[in-house]
């Protein structure tokens, strides 16, 4: 439903988007991650037909943003990081204006307005002036505007910026509900914990180049695998700490009472072997568990903090 093919966008000597290629299947949520100035917004503006690539192409539902921009616009809903409002306009009038702009008439427009306001839970605020809405309600209104023509694809630029925890949770639930109904979503955010919970796959971009793409686990496998292991040793973990310190596959050992936390090289099978060796060495292991790296840790591993 979304495909970028060798996409380039330059501004003078700056390569804002540098040979990016990836695709997103129907019903998936794709997280677009990168530092400020990495090229995320430029890529999304190209997908939304608000900018043209210097080279390469991008496709929405098979239609080129270069050759078929009108068809793309009817299949795509774009939620920018900042959206304008109009003075003396209430919620219903605002959404109705965009419904008319997309050519919706009669019962189709009425049905679309009813669905969008119900889905975004703005129906109880239909007559409220936009100027009186909270930040969270304005974000819902912008999402409603992107949904009003029932697009197959949504491109959301920093939709959770400035929202309180409850509003972020509700936004996440709405995005997952949209994906469950078959909509394809590309979303950028600096709140990586949110993306990790809602995205099927992620793409990490820096200096205009795509550094990694796939599920968090897939990207993790391309890096050096190092799991954080926590164990509990009955009677105290001091002796285990000395035993672990002598191993080449264990790093950063922290001992506190009966608890030992450390980093371990290798896959899950290697962890099974380590646990077996600990038991055979006579340690009374009451608990043993590992945790893969978070999306934030993977992001720090893949990127280098460069800006342009």
Asked if residue 263 belongs to a domain, the reply is yes
Shared-domain flag, residues 55 and 204: yes
Question: Which of the listed residues 159, 180, 214 is the one where a domain comes to its end?
Answer: 214
Residue 66: give its domain's CATH number: 3.40.50.300
Distances (CA, A) of 236 to 259, 274, 275, 277: 7, 18, 17, 18
Least confident among 123-137, 218-232, 248-262, 275-289:
218-232
Integer Cα distance of 127 and 133 in angstroms: 11
**8 A C-beta contact, residue 65 and residue 57:** yes
Judge whether residue 293 has pLDDT over 90.
Answer: no
At residue 307, φ and ψ (nearest 5 deg) are -130, 165
Asked if residue 209 belongs to a domain, the reply is yes
Query: What is the length of the chain?
Result: 308
Shared-domain flag, residues 170 and 238: no
Rounded (5°) CA angle 266-271-272 = 140
pTM of the model: 0.81
Residue 291: give its domain's CATH number: 3.30.70.100
Domain count, the chain: 2
Q: What are the tens digits of pLDDT across the range 21-36?
A: 999 999 999 999 988 8
Judge whether residue 279 has pLDDT over 80.
Answer: yes
Shared-domain flag, residues 62 and 201: yes
What per-residue confidence (pLDDT) applies to 190? Answer: 79
Shared-domain flag, residues 167 and 66: yes
Integer Cα distance of 22 and 39 in angstroms: 14
Judge whether residue 85 has pLDDT over 90.
Answer: no
What per-residue confidence (pLDDT) applies to 308? Answer: 63
What per-residue confidence (pLDDT) applies to 294? Answer: 72
Q: What are the tens digits of pLDDT across the range 173-220?
A: 999 999 999 999 999 987 787 788 889 999 999 999 999 999 877 776
Shared-domain flag, residues 169 and 40: yes
Asked if residue 307 belongs to a domain, the reply is no
Residue 223 banded pLDDT, cuts 50, 70, 90 = low
Shared-domain flag, residues 157 and 246: no
Judge whether residue 225 has pLDDT over 90.
Answer: no
What per-residue confidence (pLDDT) applies to 207? Answer: 92
Asked if residue 245 belongs to a domain, the reply is yes
Shared-domain flag, residues 26 and 144: yes
Shared-domain flag, residues 54 and 184: yes
What per-residue confidence (pLDDT) applies to 144? Answer: 96
Rounded (5°) CA angle 73-77-79 = 125
Which range of residues forms the domain containing residue 37? 2-214
Judge whether residue 221 has pLDDT over 70.
Answer: no
If one compares 19 and 87, the residue with the highest pLDDT of the two is 19
- Measured in whole angstroms, the distance separating CA 5 from the mean position of its chain's CA atoms is 20
Shared-domain flag, residues 119 and 38: yes
Asked if residue 303 belongs to a domain, the reply is no
Asked if residue 292 belongs to a domain, the reply is yes
Judge whether residue 222 has pLDDT over 70.
Answer: no
Average of pLDDT values for 238-259? 95
* Best CA proximity match to 1, nearest among 59, 68, 53, 70: 59
* Best CA proximity match to 233, nearest among 282, 168, 188, 186: 282
Asked if residue 305 belongs to a domain, the reply is no
Mean pLDDT of the chain: 92
Shared-domain flag, residues 198 and 230: no
Q: What are the tens digits of pLDDT across the range 114-170?
A: 999 999 999 999 999 998 998 889 999 999 999 999 999 999 999 988 888 888 889
Judge whether residue 84 has pLDDT over 90.
Answer: no
Beta bridge partners of 289: 230
Question: Which of the listed residues 150, 182, 214 is the one where a domain comes to its end?
Answer: 214
Question: Which of the listed residues 214, 240, 275 is the one where a domain comes to its end?
Answer: 214
Shared-domain flag, residues 101 and 196: yes
Integer Cα distance of 135 and 245 in angstroms: 51
Integer Cα distance of 279 and 287 in angstroms: 11
Instruction: Report which DSSP code applies to 20.
Output: E
* Best CA proximity match to 5, nearest among 48, 34, 46: 46
Q: Where are the alpha helices (DSSP H) in the chain?
A: 40-47, 69-75, 91-101, 106-119, 135-147, 165-180, 192-198, 216-222, 238-245, 268-280, 295-302
Judge whether residue 224 has pLDDT over 60.
Answer: no
Asked if residue 54 belongs to a domain, the reply is yes
Shared-domain flag, residues 154 and 66: yes
């Amino acid at each position: 439903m979304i495909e970028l093919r060798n996409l380039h966008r330059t501004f003078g000597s700056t390569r804002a988007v540098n040979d990016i290629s990836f695709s997103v299947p129907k019903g998936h949520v794709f997280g677009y991650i990168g530092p400020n100035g990495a090229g995320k917004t430029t890529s999304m503006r190209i997908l939304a037909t608000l900018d043209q690539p210097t080279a390469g192409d991008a496709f929405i539902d098979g239609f080129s943003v270069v050759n078929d921009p009108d068809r793309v616009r009817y299949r795509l809903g774009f939620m920018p990081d900042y959206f304008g409002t109009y003075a003396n306009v209430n919620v219903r009038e605002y959404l109705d204006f965009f419904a008319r702009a997309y050519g919706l008439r009669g019962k189709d427009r009425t049905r679309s307005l009813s669905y969008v306001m119900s889905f975004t839970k703005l129906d109880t605020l239909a007559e409220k002036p936009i100027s009186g809405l909270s930040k969270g309600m304005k974000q819902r209104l912008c999402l409603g505007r992107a949904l009003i023509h029932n697009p197959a694809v949504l491109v959301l630029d920093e939709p959770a910026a400035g929202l309180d925890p409850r509003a972020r949770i509700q936004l996440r639930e709405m995005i997952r509900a949209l994906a469950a109904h078959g909509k394809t979503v590309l979303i950028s955010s600096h709140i990586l914990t949110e993306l990790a919970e809602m995205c099927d796959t992620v793409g990490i971009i820096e200096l205009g180049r795509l550094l990694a793409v796939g599920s968090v686990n897939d990207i993790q496998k391309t890096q050096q695998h190092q799991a954080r292991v926590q164990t509990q040793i009955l009677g105290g973990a001091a002796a285990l700490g000395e035993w672990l310190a002598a191993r080449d596959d264990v790093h950063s050992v922290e001992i506190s009472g009966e608890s030992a936390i450390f980093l371990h090289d290798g896959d899950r099978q290697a962890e099974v072997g380590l646990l077996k060796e600990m038991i055979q060495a006579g340690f009374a292991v009451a608990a043993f568990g590992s945790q893969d790296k978070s999306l934030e840790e993977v992001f720090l591993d893949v990127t280098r903090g460069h800006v342009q």
